[in-house]
Amino acid sequence: MIVVLNRLSIALSGKRKFMREISVDLGKKSYPIFIGEDLLANTSWLESLIASQQVMIVTNTTIEQLYLAQLKQSISKFKPAVTIIPDGESFKTLGVMNKIITGLLESKFSRDSYLIALGGGVVGDMTGFAAACYQRGISYIQIPTTLLAQVDSSVGGKTAVNHELGKNMIGAFHQPAAVISDTDVLKTLPDRELIAGLAEVIKYGLIRDSEFFFWLETNMEKLLERDADALTHVIERSCINKAEVVAQDEKESGLRAILNLGHSFGHAIETAKNYNDWLHGEAVATGMLMAADLSCRLGWLDKESVDRVRSLLERAALPVRLPTGIEPARMRELMSIDKKAKQGKLFLILLKGIGQSIVTSEFETEPLKETLSCFPSVATGDK
């Protein structure tokens, strides 16, 4: 069962504020997601979440300048070690992850130590994978600093690094001990990063929550203006949606695959571009529209719904075209090595309505070719 609680917390300023808690129900591996303001400044509460004297913070060169000092101060009693990795999807590799492992070994960390991922999806995925690998598994806490990470990648225990031939092909399922989403950190998030996160938010409305999709159609401008209440609502609603799916299918043996709407197309875009130029959310946005287009060609989704998807993505300033230089044949080739491919069959998440998704390999090749061929390309930097 998913539980949403309103808890009254006291920030360091002395002001009383509400903190939301969502439980991801996975039996012995259950953990809380906390959403609220000033969470990184709440020393005693943060310290209570760490059950070890050996703590290492992993962050990147960008977040280091913004929030590392505050977090170190808040958990200063642990005298945390720190590992800094480069910022960017192109650095999400085994080689860079090895820097985290080396830091743990040099500090002589034991099996009961804690890693803390302070950053976006790349930091979270790599820290989680390092935690899964080090001494066959240690604990870690996610502190996501981007909207995309707060609504998606920090929740669910998927950890991985990329390979030059495919995105997230090397990884493990390893659930965090807690997720801490401090909404204050979004104030320093660049507009492009905020917009990229909205792609994953829209995804939840498309795959299982039609009421949420309608809410997004009504409130998109508030999100773009960074309205605090609107952003808190989408983080909470997105996390509830993901938690409910993960609780039913932790390791993606069935239902959980719906969380990958648009990702087979999107991952192909990212791989073709060598993980440069486009952000993950931007690639997923185009991928979701391609999935909607294919669903329409198969007769499963009406054109009006496709137009609603396109309109909402455009209002969110997300791309709805492919980047230049990716031929349909190359897209299809890259999609064939997607993690959802089984026994030579490509499985896609498609739509039968707004809020109704399916995982299927039962589609004809020709409509897929038509979808891959019909999307016009756009030059990098002009999405």
- pLDDT tens digits for range 138-179: 999 999 999 999 999 999 999 999 998 888 999 999 999 999
- Catalytic-role residue among 167, 203, 242, 383: 242
What's residue 44's pLDDT? 86
Contact 232, 239 (CB under 8 A): no
The CA distance from 133 to 161, in Å, is: 12
191 has pLDDT over 70: yes
Instruction: Write out pLDDT tens, residues 201-234.
Output: 999 999 999 999 999 999 999 999 999 999 999 9
Which one, of 284, 267, 259, 278, lies nearest residue 163 by Cα? 267
Note the pLDDT of residue 56.
98
Q: Dump pLDDT digits (tens) for 262-275.
A: 999 999 999 998 88
Are residue 35 and residue 117 in the same domain, yes or no? yes
- Token digits of residue 118: 């302070």
Is residue 9 over pLDDT 60? no
State which of 187, 212, 244 marks the end of a domain: 187
Question: In this predicted model, what pLDDT tens digit does every residue of 292-309 receive, in sequence order?
Answer: 999 999 999 999 999 999
**Domain end residue (candidates: 163, 187, 211):** 187
Q: Is 280 a catalytic residue?
A: yes
Is position 263 annotated as part of the catalytic site? yes
Options 89, 252, 270, 282, the catalytic residue: 252
Task: Report the percentage of the chain scoring pLDDT > 70.
Answer: 92
pLDDT digits (tens, 9 = 90+) for 316-352: 999 999 988 888 999 999 998 766 666 668 899 999 9
Structurally, the chain folds into a number of domains equal to 2
Residues 213 and 292 in one domain: yes
Q: Pick the catalytic residue: 237, 263, 297, 339?
A: 263
Residue 39 CA to residue 11 CA, distance in Å, equals 8
To the query of whether residue 242 is one of the catalytic residues in this protein, the response is: yes
Cβ proximity of 383 and 319 under 8 Å: yes
Are 199 and 330 members of one domain?
A: yes
Distance CA 251, CA 255 (A): 10
pLDDT at residue number 12: 45
- What span, in angstroms and rounded, lies between the C-alpha atoms of 227 and 233? 10
Reply yes or no on whether 252 is catalytic.
yes
174 carries an active-site annotation = no
CA atoms within 13 A on the CB side of 155: 33
Q: How far apart are CA 46 and CA 49, in angstroms?
A: 6
Indicate whether 8 pLDDT > 60: no
Weakest mean pLDDT among 70-74, 220-224, 337-341, 368-372: 337-341
Burial string for 58-92 (b: 16+ CB within 10 Å, else e) reads bbbebbbeebbeebbebbeebebbbbebebbbebb
187 in catalytic set: no
CATH number at residue 279: 1.20.1090.10
Task: Please check whether residue 383 lies inside any domain of the structure.
Answer: no
State the catalytic residue, choosing from 200, 250, 270, 282.
200
Q: Which of 286, 343, 280 is nearest to 313 (CA)?
A: 286
Question: Do 90 and 172 reside in the same domain of the chain?
Answer: yes
**By residue range, what is the domain housing residue 124?**
4-187
Residue 364 confidence (pLDDT) above 90:
no
35-43 mean pLDDT? 90
> Of the listed 167, 260, 270, 273, which one is catalytic?
260
Contact predicate 303/289, CB 8 Å:
no
Q: Which two tokens stand for residue 161?
A: 């690094």
**Residue of 203, 256, 339, 383 marked catalytic:** 256
pTM exceeding the 0.85 threshold for the entire prediction: yes
Is a pLDDT exceeding 70 seen at residue 374? Answer: yes
Helix, strand or coil, per DSSP, at residue 132: helix
Percentage of residues of the chain with pLDDT beyond 90: 81
Quickly list DSSP for 161-199: EEETTEEEEEEEE---SEEEEEGGGGGGS-HHHHHHHHH
